[in-house]
């Protein structure tokens, strides 16, 4: 279950891959919803998009807590590659926090409330605010693009490690 200095335990791997799938799904759902006309179907799918965004926020908190109590496997590659990998991981964490947080705040400054999966209302922490709404729309839109680019680079780097460097970076996240 736990990480070692040579590999990731099943908990870290499960959190990583579950997060990745949820993030990809929420991104796709967000793009689909944006193209839909206003109506009950759009509202329902938007609630799923928003609710899973909150789940992702909770999941990243769990991942960070798990990371604090587990050793991080020794990085592979050159010192430069190790620094880049560390910077990319922290950038991904920051973006995965900023994206759903900006979305959650956007919902509130638009004057709406979010009920998780249509059932559990979340507390309001911000009042309706048109000026802030515009800013948060820009932040939410920009962060998703940065997150998509960072995730693509992260994936490309993992594939480079596997197919070009032929090291165990990708294998450690697949099998530990």
pLDDT tens digits for 39-68? 999 999 999 999 999 999 999 999 999 999
- Whole-number pLDDT of residue 71: 85
pLDDT band at 100 (very low <50, low <70, confident <90, very high): very high
Per-residue pLDDT at 8 exceeds 80 = yes
Report the top-level CATH class of 10-175. mainly alpha
pLDDT band at 124 (very low <50, low <70, confident <90, very high): very high
The residue whose two tokens read 């530990």 is 176
- Whole-number pLDDT of residue 176: 74
Percentage of the chain modeled with pLDDT above 90: 94
For residue 171, count CB atoms less than 10 angstroms from its CB and return exposed for 0-12, middle for 13-18, buried for 19 or more. Answer: middle
Phi/psi of residue 116, nearest 5 degrees: -55, 120
- Range name among 47-51, 78-82, 100-104 with the lowest pLDDT average: 78-82
């Amino acid at each position: 279950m736990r990480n070692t200095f040579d590999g990731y335990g099943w908990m870290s791997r499960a959190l990583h891959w579950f997060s990745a799938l949820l993030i990809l799904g929420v991104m796709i759902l967000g793009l689909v919803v944006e193209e839909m006309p206003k109506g009950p179907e759009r509202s329902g799918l938007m609630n799923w998009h928003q609710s899973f965004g909150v789940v992702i926020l909770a999941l990243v908190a769990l991942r960070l807590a798990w990371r604090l109590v587990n050793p991080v496997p020794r990085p592979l590659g050159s010192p430069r590659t190790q620094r880049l990998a560390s910077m990319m991981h922290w950038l991904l964490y920051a973006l995965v926090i900023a994206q759903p947080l900006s979305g959650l705040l956007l919902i509130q400054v638009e004057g709406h409330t979010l009920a998780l999966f249509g059932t559990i209302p979340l507390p309001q922490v911000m009042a309706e605010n048109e000026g802030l709404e515009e800013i948060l729309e820009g932040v939410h839109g920009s962060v998703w693009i940065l997150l998509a680019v960072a995730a693509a680079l992260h994936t490309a780097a993992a594939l480079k490690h596997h197919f070009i460097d032929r090291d165990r970076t990708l294998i450690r996240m697949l099998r530990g």
